Chain A
Amino acid sequence: MSRANKTTSQKLTLSKKQNISGWFFLMPATFLIAIMSFIPMFRALLLSFKTGVGNNLKWAGIFNYQRLGQDTVFIQALKNNFIYLLIQVPIMLLLALVLASMLNNKHLRFKGLFRTAIFLPCATSLVSYAIIFRSLFAVDGLVNLILIRLGFLEVGYNFLAHPNSARMVIILALIWRWTGYNMVFYLAGLQNIEYSVYEAAMIDGASPFKTFFKITVPLLKPTILLTAIMSTNGTLQLFDESVNLTNGGPANATITMSHYIYNLSFKYVPNFGYAAAMSYLILILVAVLAFVQMKVGDKRD
């Protein structure tokens, strides 16, 4: 009896010791996140209720938030982010899923080659691919050259000077850059599904279409949810593409929210308070959309 007591008390001190050393493992990372994310986030909230030029700030209540509703550039930026989100993300995720389920086929040859090729765009920097696409779609770029040679156009079409075609180029570029990235997540997820499930479906005569929607999609649901949240988060924060592909133009028609916040803070006469209010709106949007996606993701269980 006493012996048993002794060992439990020893165990207790031991687990206490481990508990404390555990905190040492977490400390550096936790402190850094607190100082580099949470404190600035709180300060941005305070800033968003102030107004003025540069560091010369006064309390202004909700003035900045009211101003957002009348700012046509901001409304355009918000619309653009949602256009990119609603068109690009579903196309990209569906394409990534289809490609992943094709590559998951055991009998497929050159699998590694295909996978590497499709994943390769992820290795280019955002600035680089934005500039490559900008050059490809320039008036004197390759796309126009091909369209002229094929007889579809007489002279080069300035894709980047018209709002809709400029947005289309951004969407195409985003799909090009990120499909392979999402595909890797799906391929990883598919490895956890027993291949015999697919073979059984094949023997039962299920069409590939049916197999895809009845087996692949439901079993990959957690991964799909993960990629959907990541893509939503990323799309709402688009910056590099807006700056380097179209420079927000023509006349702010393709500008994104992050790009506008940057311009307000560091390009024009700095208005940190107003920019902070705008950044808070992105924060709320990201949180709400992630919450909705998680709810929807749960429901289908």
Chain B
Amino acid sequence: MIKIKRSFQYVVLTVVSFVSVFPLLWMVISATNTSLDVTRGAMLPGKALIENFQKLIGAQNVSQAMMNSFKYAILLTFASLCICSLAGYGFEIFHDKGKDVVMGVILLAMMVPFAATMIPLFQMFSKAGLLNTTAGFMLPTISTPFLIMLFRQSARSFPHDIIEAARIDGLNEFQIFYKMFFPTMRSTYAAAMTITFMNAWNNYLWPKVIMTDQKSITMPMLVANLTEGYVTDYGVLMLGVLLCTIPTIIIFFVLQKSFAEGITGAVK
């Protein structure tokens, strides 16, 4: 009986794993095949990778979009981690009535759908000359309630004795944060970094609104542009999708373990 139960589990998990991985595998295989071979159901790597690549860079400015995406995502992640971890730490370590109220108000911002702020933000940013700029991309999502909450949650497990000891040793509050909290919370930072980088890289609606110049577009925008012709070249399209996915997959594999640990700390 237990044997049957256990093999049933393995069957379910294998099937689900296969379904999860298959579309990505198909993407990689299709990127190396001609469009005709893709529609014929090619299931093995083909020889058209270089041909697809030449067609892709002939049609779109891939290197520009790649550079833009990296620039926007890295700067946003850095700014976001600094500002939100400071706030999360502050809300937990120095908490009093006033700050708890502020935290409650910030959490309300989580409920605000982006569609509701998008139009006024667009108006504000076009007046301020922030269209097609990195700052324009970053500003709306540097400070997010989710990250502040994640860091506040992890600061909860940070022992107060350490803070007291550091204060007696004469460290100021910022030094305590930077020298004590920051190094011990690596896994939370890794989780925050994974989430923020992926969200920044994958963001589509906001750049589509403010990046009106072709020179400023991101990788997801470029990939979406590829589908706009009348005839779809599947090989080229999948190569574009692959290039757009590689950076996030790398981040995922490098930070996967600490991501899970960071989330575990936060769900407690």
A interface residues (Cβ-Cβ under 8 A, vs B): 18-19, 21-26, 28-30, 32-33, 36-41, 43-44, 47, 55, 99, 102-103, 105, 107-108, 113-114, 116-129, 131-136, 138, 140-142, 145-146, 149, 176, 180, 184-185, 187-189, 191-192, 208, 223, 226, 233, 236-237, 239-240, 243-244, 257-258, 261-262, 265-266, 272, 275-276, 278-280, 282-283, 286-287, 290
Residue in contact with B24 in the complex, picked from A124, A138, A187, A243, CB distance below 8 Å: A124
Contact B24–A120 (Cβ < 8 Å): yes
CB distance from A32 to the nearest CB of B (A): 4
Residue in contact with B123 in the complex, picked from A55, A208, A223, CB distance below 8 Å: A55
Given contacts A176-B19, A244-B224, A287-B111, contact A188 B117 (CB under 8 A): no
Residue in contact with A233 in the complex, picked from B83, B90, B111, CB distance below 8 Å: B111
Interface of A is mostly: helix
Given contacts A132-B23, A258-B205, contact A44 B117 (CB under 8 A): yes
B248 in the interface, Cβ–Cβ < 8 Å? yes
Given contacts A29-B143, A180-B20, contact A135 B238 (CB under 8 A): yes
Contacts of B23 in A (CB 8 A): 121, 129, 132-133, 136, 176
Given contacts A22-B90, A118-B17, A279-B119, contact A127 B26 (CB under 8 A): no
Contact A108–B267 (Cβ < 8 Å): no
Q: B242-258 interface mask toward A, CB cutoff 8 Å, 1 = contact, 0 = none?
A: 00110011011000100
Contact B260–A187 (Cβ < 8 Å): yes
Contacts of B14 in A (CB 8 A): 114
**Cα distance, A295 to B204, chains bound together (Å):** 33
Given contacts A122-B252, A244-B224, A257-B115, contact A185 B120 (CB under 8 A): no
Contact A123–B241 (Cβ < 8 Å): no
CB distance from A58 to the nearest CB of B (A): 16
Stretch at the interface among B46-54, B55-63, B94-102: B94-102
Contacts of A126 in B (CB 8 A): 202, 204, 220
Contact B94–A22 (Cβ < 8 Å): yes
Contacts of B252 in A (CB 8 A): 119-120, 122-123
Contact B116–A280 (Cβ < 8 Å): yes
**Cα distance, A135 to B247, chains bound together (Å):** 22
Contacts of B245 in A (CB 8 A): 123-125, 128
Interface of B is mostly: helix
Residue in contact with A279 in the complex, picked from B21, B118, B249, CB distance below 8 Å: B118
A-B contact count (CB 8 A): 275
Given contacts A28-B83, A240-B204, contact A40 B227 (CB under 8 A): no
- Counting from the closest, the 9 A-B pairs by CB-CB distance are A22-B94, A25-B90, A29-B87, A117-B17, A32-B143, A40-B117, A40-B120, A43-B120, A123-B252
**Cα distance, A103 to B16, chains bound together (Å):** 12
Contact A28–B198 (Cβ < 8 Å): no
**Cα distance, A254 to B21, chains bound together (Å):** 26
Contacts of B219 in A (CB 8 A): 125
Residue in contact with A132 in the complex, picked from B26, B123, B220, CB distance below 8 Å: B26
**Cα distance, A233 to B111, chains bound together (Å):** 7
**Cα distance, A276 to B172, chains bound together (Å):** 46
Contacts of B116 in A (CB 8 A): 40-41, 44, 276, 279-280, 282-283
Residue in contact with A26 in the complex, picked from B87, B174, B267, CB distance below 8 Å: B87
| Residue of chain A at shortest CB distance from B265 | A188
Contacts of B220 in A (CB 8 A): 125-128, 240
Residue in contact with B20 in the complex, picked from A29, A32, A121, A132, CB distance below 8 Å: A121
B214 in the interface, Cβ–Cβ < 8 Å? no
A-B contact pairs, 23 of them (CB 8 A): A21-B172, A25-B94, A32-B139, A33-B106, A37-B109, A44-B119, A99-B13, A102-B9, A114-B13, A114-B14, A123-B248, A124-B245, A125-B198, A125-B219, A125-B244, A126-B204, A131-B241, A149-B41, A176-B20, A188-B264, A258-B115, A265-B118, A276-B116
Given contacts A18-B94, A126-B204, A287-B111, contact A108 B9 (CB under 8 A): yes
Contacts of A22 in B (CB 8 A): 90, 93-96, 99, 173
